[in-house]
A and B are shown apart, each in its own frame.
Chain A
Amino acid sequence: MTLPREAWPRLKEAFEGARALALDARPAYLAEVCNGDEALRHEVELLLAHHDEAASFLETPVTPFDDSLVAKTLEGQCIGPYQVAALIGTGGMGEVYSARDTTLNRLVAIKVLLPALANDPDRLARFSREAQLLASLNHPHIAQIHGFENAGGLHALVMELVEGPTLADRITQGAIPVNEALAIAKQIAEALAAAHAQGIIHRDLKPANIKVRPDGTVKVLDFGLAKAIDSTSGDRVDAKRLPAPGVLATGAGLIVGTAAYMSPEQARRLPVDTRADIWAFGCVLYEMLTGRRPFTGETIPETLAAILGHELDWNAFPSSTPAGIRELLRRCFQRDPALRMQNIAEARETIEKAQRGWNRWRVAALCAAVVGTLAVGAAVWSREPARPVDRSEWVQLTQFPDSVIHPALSPDGSMLAFIRSPSGSGPFGFGQVFVKRLPNGEPVQLTNDNLAKLSPVFSPDGSRIAYGTVNQGRFEWDMWTVPVRGGEPQPWLRNASGLVWSGPGRILFSEMKKSPHMGIVAAQESRIDQRDVYLPAHGGGMAHRSYLSPDGRSVLVVEMDHDFFWMPCRLVGADGSPGRQVGPSGGGCTFATWSPDGRWMYFTSNAGGTNHIWRQRLPDGQAEQITSGPTEEEGIAMAPDGRSFVTAVAVQNVSAWLHDPNGERQILLEGNTVNVRFTADGKKLFYKVVKQASSSWNHSEIPGELRLMDLETGRSEVVMPGFQTLNYDLSIDGQQVVMEIADRDGTSRSWIAMVDRASPPRPIPGVEGKEPRFGRNGDILFRRTEGSSGFVYRVRPDGTGMQKVFENPIFVFDGMSRDGRWIKAFTVPAGNEGPSWQALPLDGGPSVPIGAYTWHWSASEDSVAISGAPLPAGRSYIVPLRSGQFLPLERREGARSEQEVADLPGARRIDADMVVPGPSPEIYAFYRTTTQRNLYRIPIR
């Protein structure tokens, strides 16, 4: 607060006035109300920026105590050789302190026993004996008991000090992501297995007794102590004491929290064995996955009643919980110990199996984060799938190292046909037709020629496979057939593609009317009795595929518009009525099908940015997304029973490579490396490591760890540990990096960090937006999303002075020129019909189209790398720039041929996609992308 106190009322008035106004109206209001008082205006702007930032700040009242409220005076005292440091918790047995073992000079935890226990000589003696026995238990996931100490009238158990929160602390913040919960559960199971092998039962396993160290290591605490402190000697529990064993009755009463994890036999006060731990293990795993206890009640009797009788809520699990884990829990929660899982080792095996499933998918928590992808210039559909399909239930049907696409099932569902397409992808295939008997038959190659192929389909009797071929040079589309059992492929119908059988001897297919105008026609197999079903209204439109509804009345059509963009699918009448668009709006629909009962339409659509499976119920349901995540799913072959479909799942890997005079090397051997940038001095390299690449072109949409590599030493360090960065930019002086980092709720905020880490990273208050970039004078420019597009704003690093830079909506804000005169953006230029890449001058003036290439400027902007059309895939050019020159091509529409780019002065060809120029022509980075597509069966719920 730099203002004098007298200014407070004016500050208050201006703040309240501005707060009530829309963002756009504030500058004018502030100019008026501050009337030239710049200090006041700055202060108001600061407050407004922080006001937006502080929405939830202080909204949760303080929790009015922590452990310090019950801290005793033991801190600083010595118990034997142990110097007590700080109280770290209180439990049923007493208080737990951290302490230094002055003889061994190590940190330990000591449990100071409650007087009730310490003053009972019998119990104390037995406790001491138990403690010695428990000290023999030595396992990486069990907190070690070092011994028992008597000193100064105090009795204390000395144990390994384990850093980190307890699992109970973790769960208070909500359910734990499935993969993490499984990793924790596996370690708990290992600890229990080791103890059970030595005949030691935990008896009081619960989240509060489990610690998770920051590195993810789990330590189970208080093994067997419940028995040690129990007043009875055997496993049979004193019936007068509830709930025992495993629970200590304190003066304050019984601890409800513990009762919740008791097995039914414990609740009934029957003898317990290792199977009680298995029940408790189930409780802990359930609570991790769902965030709540399986059996609860307001009181202990209610809790016990729940344990003994209530049916569990089996719907509480996140949808991604593997089926094997649900089954595991069912076996843990058998009330009769004889029916329960007998050996905890089985739990560990089940978890390992489920984890392998997870690892194969590497989807983890990433799925949700990636769903909200970008659809440029189109409506954005980024909602969560309505009925997400659990990935662990996907069954892999093919195991090719490259791409397998266009699945088709035989009418009886026993055979699978597809196209193996080593290089091609997507809606058109370039490869060979294969067939495979399900589930485990060897794939058999049926064709061996150079024709591009698409859309195989089984004949109604299952004896033949028909498929389309494309002669791209002449733009001819023909149908061929090949016997399923092998034989010479035969040409069948000329000028026909996307064929399906619509009944005995009847077919539905696409026919080129007048190139490139393609429509859907129905005919008999001999092509007599042919009639038009649908013809795109626009003369350049092409309807590529059609799917007849089971009742024969409607046809789903997959079509392209005159610009060869895939459109949403269309539902037309089989009688030729024009129909309507169906499925998700926006994006392209490339495949479709029907459920066997005809009630649902299924689609492959990239309406959410990448290709996933959607469906929509007839007649008037909303489109819902049923697969999501970093993979893409294309093509749908519905199983005859309607309970599953087969689709091609694309998994993409991106590696970044560094080229320098010494040759080429991969920047990071494991993981997907994206968003590579050299620092201006060329000595360091920023890159982002993402768990899973998406085939979306925009890797800035995937959160990852930003790292900085020293090119000389080859050493990398994480720029901001713990942060998942989406997008970032470097300041011109190379000292700072500004990052887009998503909140837990998905809101993008901008953070600034010093490259040398001289000060901690800090957020720019009030900046909710994407794609932050350094502008002139230290300003930050960013894109504030408003609806499906957004606008570029300028803001000072302290959050003040926010103002809109352009009136044009900006779909993607790629960056600024080094001189600060231009921004590069995907936008709608004035007077133009569609969005395109443009360079927009900040000082007004006309924007300049920069073509549909991918541009990568060097940090010092003395060269630019160009890739993309008209260059062939896998080829780029680095073109030197004159000082002040921003675009190497003067012509507005850009290059028309590769030759034109190659002829630019100093142009240097690089055989790679997406090249990032470095400090000298010899040094650059580039990416290598591999995509695997295999067929999976996905169940339908």
Chain B
Amino acid sequence: MPDPSPAHNVTELLLSWGQGDAAALDRLVPLLYDDLRRVARGHLRREGPGHTLQPTALVHEVFLRLVDVDRMTVKSRTHFFALSARLMRQILVDHARRRQAGKRGGGATVIGLNEAAGAAAPASSSSVDVLALDEALDALSSFDDRQCRVVELRFFAGLNIPEAADALGVSTATVEREWAMAKAWLHQRLSTPQEPPAG
């Protein structure tokens, strides 16, 4: 293929993946991953520190950049958002791990989440330890994969309930139910001390 545009490439890969081509996913992931990081960085450079970038804007921007919208099917669009959400999670976890490894004295990386929780003073409830959340999501997905997907879409990709329902191909009522329980479950899990992960 002579000099394929990224849009063409990603679109093809999404369509192939949707048709069951597992290898397409392997090629899709690094493309999306890199682009998400690049767009995030670009925003940071343009807006300067302190600017809050909405993940939903980021994912949509990447979508418009990388995907030939006209050729998208409902299913491939769904795949795109689900995948982006998961990659956003991955990007943040990777960074958190790298920072943690690089820091003498360790300590979890806490990514500030403005009003992630409504509770008062303590840092533990007004910010979320991304690594702990990641680990809790892994545990959750072993019980209920769909709840895990909903959290990825809502929290890491910033989709609202109807968008998440759209991306998952389920009703908004289902997303609402899954979201409520997933939040309660994760909140419980994250506010209960866990054994430190091995390694």
A and B interact = yes
Q: Which residues of A contact B (CB under 8 A)?
A: 1, 5, 8, 12, 15-16, 19, 46-51, 53-71, 75-76, 86, 89-91, 166, 168-169, 172-173, 208, 252-253, 255, 257, 722-724, 741-745, 747, 749, 760-763, 765
Q: Are B50 and A64 in contact (CB under 8 A)?
A: no
Q: Are B95 and A68 in contact (CB under 8 A)?
A: yes
Which of B13-21, B25-33, B65-73, B176-184 lies at the interface?
Answer: B176-184
Closest to B123 in A: A722
Q: Are B139 and A64 in contact (CB under 8 A)?
A: no
Give the shortest distance, in Å, between A592 (CB) and chain B (any CB): 39
Distance between Cα atoms of A86 and B104 in the complex (Å): 11
Q: Are A64 and B91 in contact (CB under 8 A)?
A: yes
Give the shortest distance, in Å, between A901 (CB) and chain B (any CB): 42
Q: Are A742 and B45 in contact (CB under 8 A)?
A: no
Contact of A255 among B41, B48, B139 (CB under 8 A): B48
Q: Are B191 and A765 in contact (CB under 8 A)?
A: yes
Chain A residues with CB below 8 A from B187, complex form:
50-51, 53-54, 57, 765
Chain A residues with CB below 8 A from B40, complex form:
64-65, 69
Contact of A48 among B120, B128, B184 (CB under 8 A): B184
Q: Are B156 and A61 in contact (CB under 8 A)?
A: yes
Q: Which residues of B contact A (CB under 8 A)?
A: 36-37, 40-41, 43-46, 48-50, 52-56, 58, 88, 91-92, 95-96, 98-99, 102-103, 109, 111-122, 124-125, 128, 130, 139, 142-144, 151, 154-158, 177, 180-181, 183-189, 191
Closest to A43 in B: B188
Q: Are B41 and A47 in contact (CB under 8 A)?
A: no
* Given contact pairs A60-B114, A70-B41, A75-B102, A1 touches B139 in the complex (Cβ within 8 A): yes
Chain A residues with CB below 8 A from B114, complex form:
60, 63, 172-173
Give the shortest distance, in Å, between A776 (CB) and chain B (any CB): 24
Contact of B48 among A58, A75, A257 (CB under 8 A): A257
* Given contact pairs A54-B117, A86-B103, A173-B114, A61 touches B155 in the complex (Cβ within 8 A): yes
| Other contacts beyond A61-B155, A255-B48, A763-B122: 15, CB < 8 A | A53-B119, A59-B116, A61-B154, A63-B55, A64-B55, A65-B43, A66-B112, A69-B37, A69-B41, A253-B46, A257-B50, A723-B121, A724-B121, A763-B125, A765-B187
Contact of B50 among A168, A749, A760, A765 (CB under 8 A): A168
Q: What are 16 A-B residue pairs whose CB atoms fall within 8 Å in the complex? A: A1-B185, A12-B144, A57-B187, A59-B116, A62-B130, A63-B113, A64-B53, A68-B109, A71-B99, A75-B102, A76-B102, A90-B49, A257-B48, A722-B122, A741-B121, A760-B124
Q: Are A12 and B181 in contact (CB under 8 A)?
A: yes
Give the shortest distance, in Å, between B34 (CB) and chain A (any CB): 12
Distance between Cα atoms of A744 and B52 in the complex (Å): 22
Q: Are B125 and A58 in contact (CB under 8 A)?
A: no
Distance between Cα atoms of A89 and B44 in the complex (Å): 11
Q: Are B37 and A741 in contact (CB under 8 A)?
A: no
Q: Are A61 and B119 in contact (CB under 8 A)?
A: no
Chain B residues with CB below 8 A from A47, complex form:
181, 184-185, 188
Chain A residues with CB below 8 A from B185, complex form:
1, 47, 50
Q: Are B181 and A61 in contact (CB under 8 A)?
A: no
Q: Are A16 and B116 in contact (CB under 8 A)?
A: no
Distance between Cα atoms of A67 and B115 in the complex (Å): 19
Chain A residues with CB below 8 A from B184, complex form:
15, 47-48, 50-51, 54
Q: Are B121 and A722 in contact (CB under 8 A)?
A: yes
Chain B residues with CB below 8 A from A19, complex form:
180
* Given contact pairs A5-B142, A61-B54, A62-B55, A16 touches B181 in the complex (Cβ within 8 A): yes
Distance between Cα atoms of A762 and B114 in the complex (Å): 20
**Which of B103, B120, B189 has the most C-beta atoms of chain A within 10 angstroms of its own C-beta?**
B120
* Given contact pairs A19-B180, A47-B185, A61-B54, A69 touches B95 in the complex (Cβ within 8 A): yes
Distance between Cα atoms of A48 and B154 in the complex (Å): 21
Q: Are B180 and A743 in contact (CB under 8 A)?
A: no
Distance between Cα atoms of A334 and B117 in the complex (Å): 42
Contact of A8 among B50, B55, B144 (CB under 8 A): B144
Chain A residues with CB below 8 A from B120, complex form:
723, 741-744, 749
Distance between Cα atoms of A46 and B41 in the complex (Å): 40
Closest to A53 in B: B187
Closest to B103 in A: A86
Q: Are B119 and A8 in contact (CB under 8 A)?
A: no
Closest to A46 in B: B188
Chain B residues with CB below 8 A from A173, complex form:
114
Distance between Cα atoms of A205 and B190 in the complex (Å): 41
Q: Are A56 and B118 in contact (CB under 8 A)?
A: yes
Q: Are A58 and B102 in contact (CB under 8 A)?
A: no
Closest to A257 in B: B48
Chain A residues with CB below 8 A from B157, complex form:
61
Contact of B116 among A57, A86, A724, A760 (CB under 8 A): A57
Q: Are B155 and A58 in contact (CB under 8 A)?
A: yes
Closest to B40 in A: A65
* Given contact pairs A48-B184, A252-B45, A743 touches B116 in the complex (Cβ within 8 A): no
Q: Are B154 and A58 in contact (CB under 8 A)?
A: yes
Q: Are A70 and B45 in contact (CB under 8 A)?
A: yes
Chain A residues with CB below 8 A from B130, complex form:
62
Chain B residues with CB below 8 A from A49, complex form:
188
Q: Are B118 and A58 in contact (CB under 8 A)?
A: no
Q: Are B156 and A62 in contact (CB under 8 A)?
A: yes
* Given contact pairs A48-B184, A58-B128, A86-B103, A63 touches B53 in the complex (Cβ within 8 A): yes
The 10 closest A-B pairs by CB, nearest first: A61-B158, A51-B184, A56-B118, A54-B187, A50-B188, A50-B187, A65-B40, A54-B183, A50-B184, A743-B120
Q: Are A1 and B143 in contact (CB under 8 A)?
A: yes
Q: Are B44 and A65 in contact (CB under 8 A)?
A: yes
Chain B residues with CB below 8 A from A724, complex form:
121
Chain A residues with CB below 8 A from B58, complex form:
64
Give the shortest distance, in Å, between B144 (CB) and chain A (any CB): 6
Chain B residues with CB below 8 A from A12, complex form:
144, 181
Give the shortest distance, in Å, between A681 (CB) and chain B (any CB): 29
Q: Are B191 and A50 in contact (CB under 8 A)?
A: yes
**Which of B53, B119, B186 has the most C-beta atoms of chain A within 10 angstroms of its own C-beta?**
B119
Chain B residues with CB below 8 A from A169, complex form:
50
Closest to A88 in B: B49
Distance between Cα atoms of A427 and B128 in the complex (Å): 54
Distance between Cα atoms of A9 and B168 in the complex (Å): 20
Distance between Cα atoms of A599 and B93 in the complex (Å): 64
Distance between Cα atoms of A46 and B191 in the complex (Å): 11
Q: Are A765 and B95 in contact (CB under 8 A)?
A: no
* Given contact pairs A57-B187, A58-B186, A65 touches B143 in the complex (Cβ within 8 A): no
Chain B residues with CB below 8 A from A762, complex form:
191
Give the shortest distance, in Å, between B164 (CB) and chain A (any CB): 11
Distance between Cα atoms of A902 and B90 in the complex (Å): 74
Distance between Cα atoms of A478 and B185 in the complex (Å): 71
Chain B residues with CB below 8 A from A91, complex form:
49
Q: Are A16 and B50 in contact (CB under 8 A)?
A: no
Closest to B89 in A: A62
Closest to A92 in B: B48
Chain B residues with CB below 8 A from A57, complex form:
116-118, 183, 186-187
Closest to B183 in A: A54
Give the shortest distance, in Å, between A74 (CB) and chain B (any CB): 12
Chain A residues with CB below 8 A from B95, complex form:
66, 68-69
Chain A residues with CB below 8 A from B50, complex form:
166, 168-169, 172, 208, 257
Q: Are B44 and A70 in contact (CB under 8 A)?
A: yes
Give the shortest distance, in Å, between B63 (CB) and chain A (any CB): 14
Distance between Cα atoms of A744 and B122 in the complex (Å): 12
Give the shortest distance, in Å, between A752 (CB) and chain B (any CB): 12
Distance between Cα atoms of A58 and B144 in the complex (Å): 18
Q: Are B156 and A743 in contact (CB under 8 A)?
A: no
Chain B residues with CB below 8 A from A62, complex form:
55, 88, 92, 111, 113, 128, 130, 155-156, 158
* Given contact pairs A54-B183, A67-B49, A69-B95, A60 touches B116 in the complex (Cβ within 8 A): yes
Q: Are A60 and B113 in contact (CB under 8 A)?
A: yes
Closest to B120 in A: A743
Distance between Cα atoms of A169 and B188 in the complex (Å): 30
Distance between Cα atoms of A745 and B117 in the complex (Å): 12
Distance between Cα atoms of A252 and B41 in the complex (Å): 12
